[in-house]
Structure 1
Amino acid sequence: MGERQHVVVIGAGIIGVSIAYHLACRGAQVTVLDKQTPGTGCTQGAFAMLIASHSPGPAELNDLYGLAVAEWKQLEVQLGTTLPIQWGGVVNWAAPGQQTDDLTVVHGRLRSWGVNIQEVSEIDVKRLIPGVVPGAFGAGWFLPGYGAIDVKQTFTILVERTKALGVVFETPVEVQSIARAASGKPVLLLGQGKAQLEADKVVIAAGAGTPSLAKALGTKIALNIVSGTLAYSKPMPSILHRVVNGPKGSIRQNPDGRIVTGLDYAPGADGHDVSDSYGQMLLSRATEVVPALAGAELETMTMGHVPIPEDSCPVVGFCDSDSTVYVATMMSGITLAPLMGRLAATEIVGQPLSLLRPYRPGRFSVKGSL
């Protein structure tokens, strides 16, 4: 039996931690580094809907999302615990006009790929979400395969299980660069007087920080970074059993009773405002849609920075310029985390997988563009 590989994961968001967990399950020695407290980047600001489809396509990526949602159920079995997931699906509707026209095209495309999507009337929406006030109604759809997750509690559980497997978390530690040791192995140059750390393999799962680390190795990662804010209420009695996604924003309720709501990228959204006044506005808009939320008290606001690859597809694989450095960054990180964690770990300490071949970092590299 060979010597255990030491893998250093840069990034303690849900993608990095999932990769670390699955690497440890495969027998690797793993160290996780992050310049912040684990989970305080994109992860904390995620609405955390489990998305069973990917409407922009291509069809193969849409299928990957379906596999990813199913992987959450497998992870529950592997962890031996019930995760705070709501499997009631998502009810989505649009106002009359262009919004309805656009979503009709999107949902038609999903249906052509075999996604379980049901067109619903305003009456159906009111049946699926008792007490809802849809407002001006153009068309609606129900996607029963979707879910939502309490990302904070779930992330805490995953970190605890990862540590129990012997994974070491070192935070806050900032990685300045990745160099090459005399042994030929990658060595990480660390800030804050932490000197150097040598590894057999390195995983860059640093979200918004991924492009700069990869660029120094000669690998271009084309990302757009967008921010989003969410309002969390104090716990309330059980009201919502499905995700609400309408013209006035997205609303869900965690199993612990907290309401989570945001405008996503809708008109009026402010991806940087975490003030109490903005949070109260978000809860007020949610109450217009679900009057039973009246009296909801703001508990906290979150902001996350979402890395969106230029072509919207995940970026996973070894750098063309360095076969010891693996990159993992993507949008929909909450949905994809368990699946991508398992698949990435397989590639890092095992063999390449054809399923991930379309998503290699090298697709962004154009001569002279770095």
Structure 2
Amino acid sequence: MIDEVGSPAHRLPSAGRKIVVVGGGIVGATIAFHVADRGAQVTVVDAGSPGEGETSRASFGWINAREKGPKAYHTLSRRSLDMWSRFAQRLEVDVGLQWGGQLIWTDTRERAGRMEKAVERQRKSGNPVRLLTRGEMKELEPGIHPGGFSIACWSEADGQVDVPRVVRACLDRVSALGGTVLGGTSATGFAKDDQGRVASVETGSGRLQCDTVVLACGPEAPAVSALAGLEVPVHHTAGTTAVTTPVSPIFQRVTVAHAPSGLHLKQLADGSVVFGGFPC
């Protein structure tokens, strides 16, 4: 959030404050819902169709607390595991939240050694994760045929969510709470008051008065933040995510699976499979 150019807001907005959220993806939509639920007057602007941007469409929606650093990030992920069920209930619609854990297996002794050490670290941090033999993995998921196999692990507390459903649910709640969602509307500039504080957002549809601006526009963050005199560093990584048409169930218990090749996949409630990976 930006209360003043170059000065992030550290406190949640009070009731009645005018908040403009630039970006209607998973980050912008969830922030908009939470501040609207606290009584703020919220307007969401998105250059395209909210929830259809690159980051939301490509988001895998995996809820987990695997090894993540720094410590604050790991703590946030652990708290997220505890909060998701309550959050989904507050949205009052089905967002495709599923629990069942994550299954990952290796095909070499070298990778198995790294997995064993990682599992031990996770256990010490309180994560419910355990190693599996080929037979135990087959019992857990009879439909998975791993080919080359050395060892597997199952993080039983992990889950997944249908990201586009979450975005739609959040923005619907924003509208129900009196907020406004503007698709096809780009932020083109920021006007400041005499103290240098952002006082309004300029858009192709007109000026939006505000007390606070939230920049949640994914890969467009550097360009949009530059309009406010800010520099937001973005680290780019290559990856691919695809979604199939609905198919018969592929998992018996788990919600997310990762193969040694780097392929990861999950199945949504409607039967469609989301899969992707990163170049090795």
Per the normalisation by structure 2, the TM-score is 0.85
| 1:252-271 matches, cutoff 5 A | 252-262=266-276, 264-267=277-280
Letter in 1 for 2:265: I
Who is 1:208 aligned against? 219
Pick closer, same or farther for the CA change 1:3–1:137 going to 2, 3 Å. closer
Who is 1:173 aligned against? 185
Give % identity. Answer: 27
Q: What displacement does 1:170 show?
A: 1.2
Does the 8 Å contact 1:95/1:136 carry over to 2?
yes
User: Which 4+ runs in 1 deviate beyond 6 A?
Assistant: none
Who is 2:207 aligned against? 196
Who is 2:258 aligned against? 245
Unaligned runs of 5+ in 1: 268-370
Who is 1:303 aligned against? none
**Total equivalences in the alignment:** 262
Who is 2:247 aligned against? 236
Per the normalisation by structure 1, the TM-score is 0.65
Q: What displacement does 1:39 show?
A: 1.1
> Which of residues 41, 45, 51 in structure 2 aligns to 1:29?
41
Aligned CA RMSD, in angstroms, stands at: 2.2
Letter in 2 for 1:47: F
Unaligned runs of 5+ in 2: 1-13
Quote the Cα distance in structure 2 between the aligned partners of 1:34 and 1:227.
24
Q: What displacement does 1:54 show?
A: 4.3
**1:93 and 2:105 aligned:** yes
Quote the Cα distance in structure 2 between the aligned partners of 1:153 and 1:35.
19
**1:223 and 2:234 aligned:** yes
Who is 1:292 aligned against? none
> Which of residues 102, 105, 115 in structure 2 aligns to 1:103?
115
Post-superposition Cα deviations, 1:145-171, rounded to whole Å, max 9, x if no partner, equal: 101112223332222222211221112
Pick closer, same or farther for the CA change 1:104–1:176 going to 2, 3 Å. farther
**1:79 and 2:91 aligned:** yes
What SS is found at the alignment partner of 2:145?
A: coil
> Which of residues 137, 145, 158 in structure 2 aligns to 1:146?
158
> Which of residues 115, 125, 141 in structure 1 aligns to 2:137?
125
**1:116 and 2:155 aligned:** no
Post-superposition Cα deviations, 1:92-120, rounded to whole Å, max 9, x if no partner, equal: 11120443344344333322222111111
Quote the Cα distance in structure 2 between the aligned partners of 1:9 and 1:67.
24
Quote the Cα distance in structure 1 between the aligned partners of 2:165 and 2:200.
33
Quote the Cα distance in structure 2 between the aligned partners of 1:106 and 1:222.
30
Does the 8 Å contact 2:198/2:213 carry over to 1?
no
Post-superposition Cα deviations, 1:294-335, rounded to whole Å, max 9, x if no partner, equal: xxxxxxxxxxxxxxxxxxxxxxxxxxxxxxxxxxxxxxxxxx
Q: What displacement does 1:232 show?
A: 2.1
Does the 8 Å contact 2:61/2:160 carry over to 1?
yes
Q: What displacement does 1:252 show?
A: 1.5
Quote the Cα distance in structure 1 between the aligned partners of 2:114 and 2:224.
38
